[in-house]
């Protein structure tokens, strides 16, 4: 019962993150096109286009982290996998997921601290004056989600490791 509920929540979350990523790519493309056309055809660039693109890129990258981690689609160097037993490969996968998860937990702590300083300083973008704190907190939350995914993969391995030689 609990596993079904968690799977449902995870599926909806990953769908939402994928949708956000797709929409962000579309809006980045649109803003860049409008800016380029405005700049070179009408000599009137879109005010704040660079800032908007930067902020959308931040959201895109950090929204993609849990997606890539959940699907176990990180870049993997598997030169030596063919000479390792499945048990050794699995042990290395567990160690890699544990190290990634613990590293990401540390990054979460640093990002939340940075977000708190951004709130204290009232940091905003230079042209459009968009507050940076929500983006920093969002980064921390998404890195935390990615850390949880890696730790879950270490404790409860996915059905097939996409990075291992026998998954190909």
- The mean pLDDT of 83-91, rounded to a whole number, is 87
Q: At what angle do helices 133-155 and 49-70 cross, to 10 degrees?
A: 10
7-58 tens-digit pLDDT: 788 788 888 888 998 999 999 999 999 999 999 999 999 999 999 999 999 9
DSSP 132: S
Per-domain residue ranges for the chain? 2-167
Q: How far is CA 83 from CA 79, 94, 162, 164, 168, in A?
A: 9, 18, 17, 12, 15
Burial class (CB in 10 A: 0-12, 13-18, 19+), 20: middle
């Amino acid at each position: 019962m609990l596993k079904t509920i968690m799977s449902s929540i995870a599926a909806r979350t990953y769908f939402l993150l994928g949708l956000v990523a797709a929409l962000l790519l579309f809006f980045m493309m649109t803003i860049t096109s409008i800016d380029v056309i405005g700049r070179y055809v009408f000599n009137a660039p879109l005010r704040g286009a660079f800032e908007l693109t930067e902020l959308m890129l931040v959201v895109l990258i950090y929204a993609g982290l849990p997606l890539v981690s959940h699907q176990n689609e990180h870049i993997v160097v598997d030169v030596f996998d063919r000479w390792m037993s499945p048990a050794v490969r699995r042990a290395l996968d567990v160690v890699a997921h544990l190290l990634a998860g613990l590293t990401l937990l540390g990054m979460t702590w640093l990002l939340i601290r940075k977000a708190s300083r951004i709130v204290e300083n009232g940091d905003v973008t230079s042209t459009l004056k968009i507050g940076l704190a929500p983006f920093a907190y969002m980064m921390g939350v998404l890195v935390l989600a990615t850390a949880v995914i890696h730790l879950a993969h270490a404790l409860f391995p996915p059905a097939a490791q996409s990075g291992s030689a026998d998954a190909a």
